[in-house]
Amino acid sequence: MLNPGRRGPAGARPELWIRERTGMMIATILAAEAVCARFGCMLPPEPQCVRAGPVAFVGIGREKWLALDDRP
């Protein structure tokens, strides 16, 4: 596991930031139609992220998504 902080060459734009996230809920989505009806968004067919209010949906594979919610 990497420690939180900046990653990349010194003096250059950071290539990666790592930070701990607590209180986050993560769920795997397999029922896209139900999610689209509930949240009113289209889930991405490729690896990208869409938001519906405080919830982010990330395409992670063929007809598979992660739902991320970091509300307190």
Tens-digit pLDDT profile for residues 4-57: 676 667 777 766 666 666 777 777 777 788 888 888 888 888 888 888 888 888
Domain boundaries, the chain: 23-72
What residue spans of the chain are helical by DSSP H?
32-39
CA–CA separation, 30 vs 55, rounded Å?
16
Residue with the two structure tokens 């689209």: 36
Local structure of 70: helix, strand or coil: coil
What DSSP character marks residue 46? S
The whole-chain average pLDDT of the chain stands at: 77
Other C-beta atoms closer than 10 Å to the C-beta of 50 total 15
The predicted model scores a pTM of 0.61
